[in-house]
């Protein structure tokens, strides 16, 4: 009897009315208890192990990714119900384009289906007021996938209570490169002068031209009046041609353009140009499948107070019972951190 068959029997048993009802109430009670302590605002998941899960259970790789999406739906409900405000998931790495073409094609087809499901059956996101944001290199997304991405963002833009960041396609190096380029542009672009209807030099030269005309005694009075009226009218237009006989102005001193001081660039300045600039700091980073590396995900966002957890379970297996120990440990560490800060004072 295969592991997948046993897994189906287990799921059927857990969903039976006699088991599901008390189990659901137990989950609600557990989540309510956890909410009595501090809750992380930002949690990131590196959803690893879908292919290994499929291989272990002798199913197609794409089916493993489908089961991984079901795990994501479970995790989102757990996080938002606990009070987490931002969930960031690593859906597709730029490096994944190097995988076999049939797998990449299958992943893109699945992305369209799952994004459409989020839009059509978005009760979960609407229930917790979560809006979708897609972070990454938009120009690498295939043209047939872009409409689904835009529709998912558009249909959830009214949700302001929580955020689901989908990194697709993404690497931290690409994000940091983009942030540094934006910072360089900000500090090397000349400040724009305020817009005025006329330049000061043009107004001055026009006045001198008028004075030259008025001093010419050979002009008739009617002609002078006509010229005066014409000059008034001309002054209302920025396209009036200057009198070629008007005296030339001396060369005006060139004003030195002042750029921002590059010494003022700080980590906060660069952070303001990252994809997650308006998100709270990353509290918890979770990677499944037993791999103990970050794999170019959230490298900038991981800071001195980010708690990183590497779990042995594969992503399709991840559930509340895997998340509870992580949350309890994070709450315990927060308590210890608070005690240290209080003793320093």
pLDDT at 85: 97
φ/ψ of 189, rounded to 5, equals -90, 130
pLDDT at 62: 85
Tell me if residue 294 falls in helix, strand or coil.
coil
pLDDT at 315: 96
In 252-298, which residue ranges form alpha helices assigned H by DSSP? 267-271
pLDDT at 61: 87
Which stretches of the chain drop beneath a pLDDT of 70? 1-21, 23, 121, 191-257
pLDDT at 200: 55
pLDDT at 253: 57
Candidates 95, 40, 16, 3; CA nearest to 314 is 3
From the number of C-beta atoms within 10 Å of its C-beta (0-12, 13-18, 19+), residue 80 rates as buried
pLDDT at 260: 82
pLDDT at 220: 53
**C-beta separation of 318 from 71 below 8 A:** yes
pLDDT at 236: 47
pLDDT at 215: 60
Q: How many helices (H) and strands (E) does the chain have?
A: 12, 6
Q: Give residue 228's region: left, alpha or beta (phi > 0; psi -120 to 50).
A: alpha
pLDDT at 239: 47
């Amino acid at each position: 009897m295969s592991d997948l068959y046993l897994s189906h029997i287990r799921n059927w048993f857990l969903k039976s009315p006699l088991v599901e009802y008390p189990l659901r109430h137990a989950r609600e009670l557990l989540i309510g208890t956890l909410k009595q302590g501090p809750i992380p605002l930002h949690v990131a998941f590196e959803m690893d192990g879908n292919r290994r899960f499929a291989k272990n259970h002798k199913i197609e790789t794409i089916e493993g990714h489908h089961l991984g999406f079901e795990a994501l739906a479970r995790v989102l409900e757990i996080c938002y119900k606990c009070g987490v405000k931002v969930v960031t998931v690593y859906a597709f790495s730029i490096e994944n384009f190097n995988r076999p073409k049939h797998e990449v094609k299958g992943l893109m087809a699945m992305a369209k289906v799952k994004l459409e499901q989020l839009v059509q059956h978005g009760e979960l996101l609407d229930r917790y007021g979560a809006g979708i944001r897609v972070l990454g290199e938009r120009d690498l997304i295939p043209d047939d996938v872009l409409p689904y991405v835009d529709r998912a963002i558009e249909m959830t833009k009214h949700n302001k209570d929580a955020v689901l960041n989908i990194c697709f396609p993404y690497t931290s190096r690409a994000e940091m490169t983009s942030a540094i380029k934006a910072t360089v542009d900000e500090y090397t672009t000349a400040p724009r002068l305020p817009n005025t209807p006329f330049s000061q030099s043009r107004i001055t030269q026009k006045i001198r031209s008028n004075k030259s005309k008025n001093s010419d005694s050979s002009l008739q009075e009617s002609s002078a009046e006509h010229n005066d009226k014409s000059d008034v009218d001309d002054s209302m237009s920025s396209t009036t041609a200057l009198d070629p006989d008007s005296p030339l102005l001396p060369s005006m001193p060139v004003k030195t353009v002042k750029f921002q001081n590059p010494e003022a660039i700080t980590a906060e300045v660069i952070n303001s140009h990252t994809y997650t600039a308006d998100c709270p700091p990353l509290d918890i980073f979770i990677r499944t499948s037993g791999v103990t590396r970050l794999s170019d995900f959230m490298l900038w966002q991981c800071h001195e107070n980010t708690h990183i957890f590497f779990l042995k379970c594969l992503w399709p297996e991840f559930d509340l019972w895997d998340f509870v120990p992580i949350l309890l440990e994070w709450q315990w560490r927060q308590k210890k951190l608070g005690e240290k800060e209080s003793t320093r004072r």
